[in-house]
Chains A and B, each alone.
Chain A
């Protein structure tokens, strides 16, 4: 079984709809992250959480919100989706920033029409 799972894997939605992307992990890590990948822009941080009571904005948090429901679950919401939020979204976990770095999920491909 995968250590970091993301649901759904693919989603097509319309402008203005509310979307939730879910992430769960079995690695027992305290830290969880949401990144998005766009062609030519690399991986950009949306939100991160170092424990259940800790939520921090990343460099591109506008238009997104998150919820850390438990140590193992971290969800990302788009309150009112817009086309420029079309991207590949990755959840990641870590027990420390270094040296092992992040463990990524398989990604969710989101298309906003």
Chain B
């Protein structure tokens, strides 16, 4: 059973608007959550993370929100730019083992 779920395979947004990517998880023991970005023909790259003791982390245009009671996190990109078009993976860290990834959401930002 999937422990990290990204239920939207794709998202289309206009340049300058907000992009919101969602992620749900099932294991309440996850202590860290991360977002990765992947362009075609490249490996995923780290984007932003959040500890389970926080509910928000911000880095420039990127903000991650964590709602532990709902076991839900979201990535907000404001304003969206065409260069943000990529696949975004949500990942969770169970203590003492490797990251578990969701299936990814493909974001397309049109100009």
Taking Cβ atoms with an 8 Å cutoff, the residues of A that contact B are 4, 33, 35, 40-45, 48, 56, 58, 90, 92, 97-107
Contacts and interface: CB of A to CB of B under 8 A. Distances in A.
Nearest to A31: B98
Interface stretch (B11-19, B40-48, B73-81): B40-48
Contacts of B91: 43, 101
Nearest to A43: B101
B49 interface: yes
B51 A43 contact: no
Nearest to A2: B43
Nearest to B95: A97
A106 B101 contact: no
B46 A4 contact: no
Interface residues of B, number: 26
Interface of B: 6, 9, 31-32, 34, 36, 41-46, 49, 51, 89, 91, 93, 95, 97-104
B44 A90 contact: yes
Contacts of B9: 40
Contact of B43 (A44, A97, A101, A106): A106
A90 B41 CA distance: 11
Contacts of A98: 31-32, 34, 49, 51, 93
A102 B91 CA distance: 10
A16 B45 CA distance: 33
Contact of B46 (A48, A103, A106): A103
Contact of A107 (B43, B46, B97, B100): B43
User: 4 shortest A-B CB distances, which residue pairs?
Assistant: A104-B43, A98-B32, A42-B103, A43-B101
B9 to A, nearest CB: 7
A42 B99 contact: no
Contact of A97 (B45, B99, B104): B99
B43 A4 contact: yes
A42 B89 contact: yes
Given A42-B89, A90-B43, A102 B51 contact: no
